Amino acid sequence: MTPATAHAIVSRQQSAPPAAAPALIDAGQDFEIRALNAPLGAEVLGLDLSRPLSDSDFARIHRAHLDYHVVVFRDQQISPSQQIDFSRRIGPLQIHVLHQFQLRGHPEVLVVSNVVENGKPIGLGDAGHFWHSDLSYKEKPSLGSLLHARELPAEGGDTLFANMHLAWDTLPAELQRAVDGLYAEHTYLARYAELQQRSPWRPNLRPEQIAQVQPVLQPVVRTHPETGRKALFVSEHFTTRIAGLPEDESRGLLDRLFAHSVRPEHVYRHQWQSHDLVFWDNRSLLHLAAGCPGHLRRVMYRTTIEGDVPR
């Protein structure tokens, strides 16, 4: 090789562009999704939501949520900010009308608690007293809710979930034909006065709060926007009447739908464990709080994700 040739090779090597950096590998976390022995629900084991969640891990969680309707993240020792951040990744958040029970510094978090301090409740202690789907009384009801166990009682405090896809699938054909295509009124105030008489947790609503919860009409049978499955979408808490029907006929149909929706074969009873974070689909389910002895403390933090207009 002549000196000139060697010089040309060295020059080309020095001027060549640097090699491209290796692509980053999305390693994700090593976790398991295990179906529960119930008509719905799965638990997630080994996932830490205090750490950044990769796109592939988030996609697994999203798929499980659609398949099982309730996803139970075990042992999540996360802060309110971390709960908010994870919830907001799923969708925009909704602020509950009872702003009195917002977590200080975090208005996105509704405190659900039976604890009374200095003569005042720190949270909404009778949340979930009747079967319902969160915020069905809004034009855009909730996509889903996330409830984080901060302090649990030694007994009681369970939450029940009823599968509204199963409720529709098992509804007698004549009843399916009778209600499909109908609309029903939902209102936050449907049983508010009754709840005020039962417990100290329901404050009088100011005019601006009442303006936020005007009655809306929702389909009695809704189609899930992501899976295309039909589900009943009425509840004993918020649904007051079926539009266009005489009162007695409306009441008769609703009573049959309510009773059928929460049959035992449609229900999963969640017994809370320390630091559980439960994410449920309000488009697919109703839920109910079973309650606990009043002298035992229960503190939960809830975030609520906005959904779409039901179809």
Q: What is the pLDDT of residue 199?
A: 75
How is residue 235 written in tokens? 């509840």
Cα–Cα distance, 27 to 180 (Å, whole number): 46
Domains and CATH numbers, the chain: 26-306 (3.60.130.10)
Is residue 96 part of the annotated active site? The answer reads no
Of 7-11, 65-69, 166-170, 284-288, the range with the lowest mean pLDDT is 7-11
Give the global pTM.
0.90
Residue pLDDT, tens place only, 290-310: 999 989 999 999 999 999 999
Give the DSSP per-residue string, 262-281: T-GGGEEEE---TT-EEEEE
Residue pLDDT, tens place only, 243-279: 999 999 999 999 999 999 999 999 999 999 999 999 9
Distances (CA, A) of 236 to 174, 186, 259: 22, 10, 9
- Which of 57, 126, 134, 281 is flagged as catalytic? 134
pLDDT score of 23 more than 60: no
- Which of 96, 129, 132, 270 is flagged as catalytic? 132
Q: What is the pLDDT of residue 164?
A: 98
Is residue 7 part of the annotated active site? The answer reads no
- The per-residue pLDDT of the chain, averaged, comes to 92
CA dihedral defined by 9, 10, 14, 17, rounded to 10 degrees?
20
Residue pLDDT, tens place only, 70-89: 999 999 999 999 999 999 99
Residue 5's pLDDT band, with cuts at 50, 70 and 90, is very low
Give the residue, 18 or 209, on which the prediction is more confident.
209
DSSP three-state, residue 254: helix
Q: What is the pLDDT of residue 119?
A: 87
Q: What is the pLDDT of residue 26?
A: 54
Residue 233's pLDDT band, with cuts at 50, 70 and 90, is very high
pLDDT score of 94 more than 90: yes
Residue pLDDT, tens place only, 191-220: 999 999 887 778 899 999 999 999 999 999
Taking residues 58-63, report their average pLDDT: 98
- State phi, psi for 218 to the nearest 5 degrees: -130, 150
- Which of 65, 241, 270, 302 is flagged as catalytic? 302
pLDDT score of 36 more than 90: yes
- Which of 129, 266, 287, 298 is flagged as catalytic? 287
Q: What is the pLDDT of residue 10?
A: 36
Q: What is the pLDDT of residue 201?
A: 75
Q: What is the pLDDT of residue 20?
A: 45
